[in-house]
Amino acid sequence: MFFVFMLATFVGFQVIQNVSRLLHTPLMSLTNAISAIAVVGSILIAGEQFSGFTTILGTVAVAASMTNIVSGFLITDRMLRMFREKERRPKAEGGNAGTAR
């Protein structure tokens, strides 16, 4: 287990050092959403129904994590959509579903 932690921290340092400084705010909201993976632990506690007490705690924890997942991913995407390159029509933003790359 500790091995996994060391490895993940190492990978984290490598990957995050390469993140563009432009994107540090989206980075924080994205890692927020990702660490809300705590939801899986909370689901197990809310769903195994050990006792009323643990079920309540688990349920609140699922709600808190789910809030982070939903708002974290949505706001990250919202911010990233705003970063545009030069030489674009000033009012481009019609149907952006199709060929967005």
Partner 1 sequence: MSGHNFLEFSYLVAAALFILSLRWLNHPRTARRGVAAGVAGMTAAIIGTLMAPEIVAYRWIEVAFVVGFVVGVPLSWVPLTAVPQRTALSHAFGGLAAGLVGIAKYSHWFDTHELTTFTTSAISLEVILGFLTFTGSLMAAGKLQEIIPTRPITYRNQNLVNLLLLALAVVSAIYLSINPNFWPAFVALIVLSLGFGVLLIIPIGGADMPTVISLLNSYAGLSAVAMGFVLQNKLLITAGALDGSSGFILSVIMCRAMNRSFTNVLFGAFGQVQAVQQAAEEKTVKSATPQDVADLLTNADTVVIIPGYGMAVAQAQHRVHELYDQLTKRGVDVKFAIHPVAGRMPGHMNVLLAEAEIPYESLVEMDDINPEMPQTDVALVVGANDVVNPAARHDTHSPIYGMPIIDADKAHTVIAIKRSMNPGFAGIDNELYYSDRTLMAFGDAKQVLGDVVKAVAGEGVGAGAH
Nearer to partner 1, 99 or 101 (CB): 101
CB 35, min distance to partner 1, A: 4
Q: Which residues from 6-35 bind partner 1, rule CB under 8 A?
A: 8-9, 11-13, 15-35
Q: Which residues from 56-85 bind partner 1, rule CB under 8 A?
A: 57-85
Residue 5, interface with partner 1 (CB under 8 A)? yes
Q: Between 38-48 and 52-82, two packed helices, what is the crossing angle to 10 degrees?
A: 150
Residue 90, interface with partner 1 (CB under 8 A)? yes
CB 53, min distance to partner 1, A: 6
CA distance 84 to 34: 25
**Residue written as tokens 């997942």?**
69
| CB proximity list for 39: less than 8 A, separation 6 or greater | 61, 62, 65, 66, 69
